[in-house]
Chains A and B, each alone.
Chain A
Amino acid sequence: MTREQRMKKRYAAEKRFQFLGVISIGISIFFVYLLLFKVFSTGSTAFFKTTIQTEIDFDKKLLELEDIKNPTLKQIKEAEFFDVTYKAATSLYPYKNDEEEKSVKLLLGGNYEYEIKNYLLKNPKMLGKKVKIELTASDDLDQLHKGNFPRNIPEDRRRLNNFQLNVYDNLVEQGKIGSSISDYFLFSGDSRDPEIAGVAGAVIGSFFSIIICLIISFPIALMAAVYLEEFAPKNVITDIIEININNLAAVPSIVYGLLGLGMLLSVFGMPRSTALVGGMTLSLMTLPTIIIACRASLKAVPPSIREGALAIGASKVQTVSHHVVPLAMPGTLSGTIIGLAQALGETAPLLLIGMVAFVVDVPSVPTDPSTSLPVQIYLWSESAERGFVEKTSATIMLLIGFLVIMNSLAVWARQKFERKW
């Protein structure tokens, strides 16, 4: 082979190699975009709800408040709202029989009676007057309005019957159908009715779990890493501990769920389905990851810094706490945040400790029953209603959003605290 041939071959090999690299990156980007596109296109509509403008007659007589001159809020609260809400719901469209009446009422969301009552409690001056309120529409009408339900299939395979479609068209003609940002999705707990189901419970549950996970795992992991890296004698026992930590980091997360179930719930009798136990279980899972990250960043501190401190008579503890740990901070912090981000997306261990329950109330303390974001995704993905499909995607969007925020935080922490030596 001549010199030129060899060179040609070498160039060709280099080109091939680079081409393969570009292809791999291209494929990865394609799949990421595919995922994001699918999730965003399905999920973004979940942040909006469809409303029906309804005329409400807050008649004193209907509310059975005609005998009281100036009713207090408490009296309004205890008033009889059935007639008012019934009248409002049935005023949407003239119906002929019971079935049609039911069909009309089903166009309103599962919470419309509460919405009407709540409106009057907020605006007590409206007592005795007629007002037009935007009531949340039912999931079926919502999906129809968003264009997710085809209309041209046979009636028995549709969730809305012909009469309801008629009513819908009529309402659209009158300009009564509207759309607004869904307060339910962001600010309320789970529900069987998709139009009023929200992620607030899951977000708060996840938040509590992650905070508890951080409080437990960061100090323990840092101390363990510092001891192993700086103080522990190098012998068989340390080697065994090290191997075990590395193995624990690779243990499937569901095993930690079993541990949480067996230990925290059964032995210690801690409350089931709570963010407290969830956070503790997640911290078991995150500990080895954070220990490994902390050890790596401690190891990266140059030994000359340790020698410098020791040589002017700093004790071992002073050397470590004044110099080594602060210098390792960027690595330990970003390692911790990435460990927590991993915990945020974890589902399996939470299923085992009962955080998969159907929880309507938004938890206010970590010992309240709650779910978490990934579990909520899992729960909703199993539901048949079309409304939950978009809610599932929207929750995935939220989860991805939180993960992006945490990872950016890790990058920021690394750059903020990084010092050159």
Chain B
Amino acid sequence: MSNKNKITAKQVSVFYGSKQALFDVDLNIAEKEVTALIGPSGCGKSTFIRCLNRMNDVIDICKVEGNIEIDGQDIYDNSVDVVQLREKVGMVFQKPNPFPKSIYDNVSYGPNIHGIAKDKTHMDEIVETSLKKAALWEEVKDRLDQPGTGLSGGQQQRLCIARAISINPEVILMDEPCSALDPIATAKIETLIDELKSLYTIAIVTHSMAQAARVSQHTGFFHLGKLIEFDSTEKIFKNPEDKMTQDYITGRFG
């Protein structure tokens, strides 16, 4: 049975200048579950996920319409502080982007700016638990002072996940987190996602249908800026309602 909804999006449309990238998307993301968003390139799934922590604000010409609520709070309301929103909704990007600083500093940066750690020992604890949750601790515990950029691609991505969970968010958004990684690193991240879903609500954008099938409980299929179908992952992959979804997941698309 599905958990209660953490995020509800109603009639979300996104415009880049005069070009509309998303058309009236209605989508609910359930708490402590993994929701996968699939679809061909340029279908708007990344655009949608970036609306959830208002990363689109960075882009000047981007305009978001409609209503997105997290725990019943409209995140585009004027009273919402975007910094606090992003404290609650973390994000992991397509290309691993650790800061060119030490591994320790990468993880401690978030707690530092939000004043989460009480003292140095507490900070050490946060760094350790975050790295453990991200399944990276064993590999890096002896070289925390070395640059995060010196790690392998898969380790860098797990470092970014550790960085995201260091401030204890409620939601983690992942924008194709494995697209730059080899299959072994991908498998590690997928296992990690599976473990993390007991603690966090996760929304993941992916190009790999196999990945969506493996890690998610719900899947949404996007095409040309529209949400074509949204249902439990099992239903989408075994018995989709829409012909287009069927074509896409069986690889007959396009």
State in angstroms the CA–CA spacing of A331 and B60 once bound together.
26
- Please tell me if A414 contacts chain B, counting CB pairs below 8 Å: no
- Given the known interface contacts A234-B60, A322-B109, A420-B149, the answer about A308 and B87 at a Cβ–Cβ threshold of 8 Å is no
- State how many angstroms separate the Cβ of B34 from the closest Cβ of chain A: 19
- Please tell me if A35 contacts chain B, counting CB pairs below 8 Å: no
- Please tell me if B83 contacts chain A, counting CB pairs below 8 Å: yes
- Please tell me if B210 contacts chain A, counting CB pairs below 8 Å: no
- Please tell me if A312 contacts chain B, counting CB pairs below 8 Å: yes
Q: Mark A73-84, 1 if CB is under 8 A from B, else 0.
A: 000000000000
- Please tell me if B44 contacts chain A, counting CB pairs below 8 Å: no
Contacts of B90 in A (CB 8 A): 311-312
Contacts of A307 in B (CB 8 A): 55, 58, 91, 93, 97
- Please tell me if B158 contacts chain A, counting CB pairs below 8 Å: no
- State how many angstroms separate the Cβ of B207 from the closest Cβ of chain A: 19
Q: For window 148-196 of chain B, which residues contact chain A by CB distance below 8 Å?
A: 149, 160, 163-164, 166-167
Q: B95: nearest residue on chain A (CB-CB)?
A: A304
- Please tell me if B98 contacts chain A, counting CB pairs below 8 Å: yes
Q: For window 81-122 of chain B, which residues contact chain A by CB distance below 8 Å?
A: 83-87, 90-91, 93, 95, 97-100, 109-110, 113-114
- State how many angstroms separate the Cβ of A287 from the closest Cβ of chain B: 26
SS of A interface (majority) = helix
- Whether B55 lies near A311 (C-beta < 8 A) is yes
Q: Mark A329-346, 1 if CB is under 8 A from B, else 0.
A: 000000000000000000
Q: B92: nearest residue on chain A (CB-CB)?
A: A311
- Please tell me if A15 contacts chain B, counting CB pairs below 8 Å: no
Q: For window 212-248 of chain A, which residues contact chain B by CB distance below 8 Å?
A: 233-234
- Please tell me if B53 contacts chain A, counting CB pairs below 8 Å: yes
Q: B111: nearest residue on chain A (CB-CB)?
A: A312
With an 8 Å Cβ cutoff, the count of chain A residues facing the other chain is: 22
Contacts of B84 in A (CB 8 A): 313
State in angstroms the CA–CA spacing of A234 and B87 once bound together.
28
Contacts of A233 in B (CB 8 A): 60
Q: Mark A292-319, 1 if CB is under 8 A from B, else 0.
A: 0000000000101111111111110010
Q: Which of A314, A315, A421 contacts B100 (CB 8 A)?
A: A421
- Whether A420 lies near B100 (C-beta < 8 A) is yes
Contacts of A234 in B (CB 8 A): 60
Q: B112: nearest residue on chain A (CB-CB)?
A: A322
Q: For window 256-315 of chain A, which residues contact chain B by CB distance below 8 Å?
A: 302, 304-315
- Please tell me if A323 contacts chain B, counting CB pairs below 8 Å: yes
Q: For window 34-62 of chain A, which residues contact chain B by CB distance below 8 Å?
A: none
- Please tell me if A327 contacts chain B, counting CB pairs below 8 Å: yes
State in angstroms the CA–CA spacing of A314 and B55 once bound together.
12
- Whether B97 lies near A305 (C-beta < 8 A) is yes
Contacts of B167 in A (CB 8 A): 312-313
- Whether A313 lies near B98 (C-beta < 8 A) is no
Contacts of B166 in A (CB 8 A): 312
Q: For window 388-421 of chain A, which residues contact chain B by CB distance below 8 Å?
A: 419-421
- Given the known interface contacts A234-B60, A306-B58, the answer about A311 and B93 at a Cβ–Cβ threshold of 8 Å is yes
Contacts of B53 in A (CB 8 A): 311
Q: A327: nearest residue on chain B (CB-CB)?
A: B100
State in angstroms the CA–CA spacing of A318 and B86 once bound together.
14
- State how many angstroms separate the Cβ of B224 from the closest Cβ of chain A: 25
State in angstroms the CA–CA spacing of A322 and B95 once bound together.
21
Contacts of B58 in A (CB 8 A): 306-307, 310
Contacts of B93 in A (CB 8 A): 304, 307-308, 311
State in angstroms the CA–CA spacing of A158 and B143 once bound together.
78
Contacts of B97 in A (CB 8 A): 302, 304-305, 307-308, 421
Contacts of A308 in B (CB 8 A): 93, 97-99, 160, 163
- Whether B113 lies near A421 (C-beta < 8 A) is no
Q: Which of A311, A314, A322 contacts B164 (CB 8 A)?
A: A311
Contacts of B91 in A (CB 8 A): 307, 311
- State how many angstroms separate the Cβ of A298 from the closest Cβ of chain B: 15
Contacts of A318 in B (CB 8 A): 113
Q: Mark B45-63, 1 if CB is under 8 A from A, else 0.
A: 0000000010100101000
Contacts of A305 in B (CB 8 A): 97, 99-100
- State how many angstroms separate the Cβ of B86 from the closest Cβ of chain A: 4
- State how many angstroms separate the Cβ of A415 from the closest Cβ of chain B: 15
Q: Which of B60, B86, B98, B113 contacts A311 (CB 8 A)?
A: B86
Contacts of A323 in B (CB 8 A): 99
Q: A233-B60, A327-B100 are in contact. List 8 more A-B contacts (CB 8 A).
A: A306-B58, A308-B160, A312-B87, A313-B87, A313-B167, A314-B83, A314-B113, A420-B149
**Which residues of B come within 8 Å of A, CB atoms?**
53, 55, 58, 60, 83-87, 90-91, 93, 95, 97-100, 109-110, 113-114, 147, 149, 160, 163-164, 166-167
14 A-B contacts (beta carbon < 8 Å): A302-B97, A304-B93, A304-B97, A307-B58, A307-B91, A311-B93, A313-B87, A313-B114, A314-B109, A315-B83, A318-B113, A327-B100, A419-B147, A420-B149
Going nearest first, the 5 A-B pairs with the smallest beta carbon separation are A304-B97, A311-B91, A313-B87, A313-B86, A312-B110
**Which residues of A come within 8 Å of B, CB atoms?**
233-234, 302, 304-315, 318, 322-323, 327, 419-421
